[in-house]
Structure 1
Amino acid sequence: MTVEVGKQIENFTLQSHSGEQVSLSDFRGKHVVLYFYPKDMTPGCTTEACDFRDQHESFGELDTVIIGISPDPVKSHQKFIDKHDLPFLLLADEDHKVADDFGVWKLKKNFGKEYYGIERSTFIVDKEGKLQREFRKVKVKGHVEEALQFIKENLQ
């Protein structure tokens, strides 16, 4: 599966920070912001999560759910939520299957080392489950506001 703007996103199910199985189809009838991030508790990922937390109410007013996805295990997600008071779901994609499907599991380079990991990306899904916008290679600063603005201008 690959995702394409304007097309239906294939349903997937992952385990949430609380241990529940959560499917994308559970949110039919709401807009969904799916954001993929590399790792719990790292500086960029913490900033991004806290930015989403701080705008959570604004997204809610637009009938939009926020879901974070990373390859971290459930336990790590729960600690991340507890430490930063995150009011939205974090899903564990430990085998990076969903990240592969969205094309965000990439070969990365850091300090001369190559490794596979998540390329920070956000996908906005409409109430019918169709992809309306993708943000790839996201820079954290200002990104949450950009996503919120897109929903205000295009999905209301």
Structure 2
Amino acid sequence: MIKVSDAESYLKDKIGDKTNNVVEVWEIFKSFCREPVEGEDEFALLFQCGIYDFTGEELFYFDFVRQFTVYEDEEYSRTEQLHCEFVFKPTDELKKLEASEWYFDTDGDMENFFAHVENLKEFQIPLKSIPLQLNIYQEVI
């Protein structure tokens, strides 16, 4: 079973060199979200996108996130987020898009969340573009 501490390297290995294929990476990410992770007591999923200038340059970020809530000895320890983040040049069409859609493990069917995200224009429109890069990273929040 995957551990929270190994989630980033596990996802990177699953994605391999498919770093420009957003649809294929999304399918791999969904498959990863269905897998249990040791040490994860609660989890959430997030799809978010929009124009941000994290690097000093405005870029369009298209981000799939799996959030892990970790307890140790029944006490809350930390929350970690594993990002699968595509970065695009901000075209006029992409500049109009912004979304933040959450799913929590208490919300019911995860497949409904995936279908909901896939039907959003904020998800569909960027699929027509080629990303500049894919960043996969895990952080404590």
**Bigger strand fraction:** 2
TM over 0.5: no
User: Rg larger in 1 or in 2?
Assistant: 2
Q: Which has the higher contact order (CA 8 A, sep 6+)?
A: 1
Q: TM-score, normalised by structure 1?
A: 0.27
